[in-house]
Amino acid sequence: MNEELTALIINELGKHRDRENIIMAVCEKGGLDWPQAEKLIQQVEEEHKRTITRRQSPILIAISVVTVIAGMVLLGYGILFFVGFFQADILQRAFLLRTGYLKIVSMVTGLGMFGGGMYGLYKTFFQLFEA
């Protein structure tokens, strides 16, 4: 019965299910109360961390790659603004600053998205290939 519950927990955590729903399913199938089910889920999560990460990794990697690409596009859009800004004369710079705040915001957002996506990829690969 414990192996059946362990398989259920690994399967549900690998599918990114809501933790409370997993606890409810463990309570129903295992006849445990809520705190016991929470402890069991934490224990299984610690023991089978690599297996759960392997099941979750395809969607995490896809989200991270899309975020990195979108961040690079936004970052490039903002950099192009600054390249044009420093090549313009003083009057054009004044007009560019007035209308370019969205490009500056997009550059900052792109930088954040790029950094966050790279961090997500790093964490996912680190957990996958952890010794």
CA distance linking residue 113 with residue 67, whole number of Å: 6
Task: Look at residue 119 and tell me whether its pLDDT is greater than 80.
Answer: yes
Task: Look at residue 88 and tell me whether its pLDDT is greater than 80.
Answer: no
CA distance linking residue 5 with residue 36, whole number of Å: 12
Structure pTM? 0.67
Residue (of 1, 74, 70) closest to 40 by Cα position: 1
Query: What confidence tier does 117 reach under pLDDT thresholds 50, 70, 90?
Result: very high
Query: What confidence tier does 14 reach under pLDDT thresholds 50, 70, 90?
Result: confident
Task: List the chain domain ranges.
Answer: 2-47, 56-128
Name the DSSP class of 15: T
Per the rule left: phi > 0, alpha: psi between -120 and 50, beta: everything else, 116 is: alpha
- Averaged pLDDT, 114-119: 96
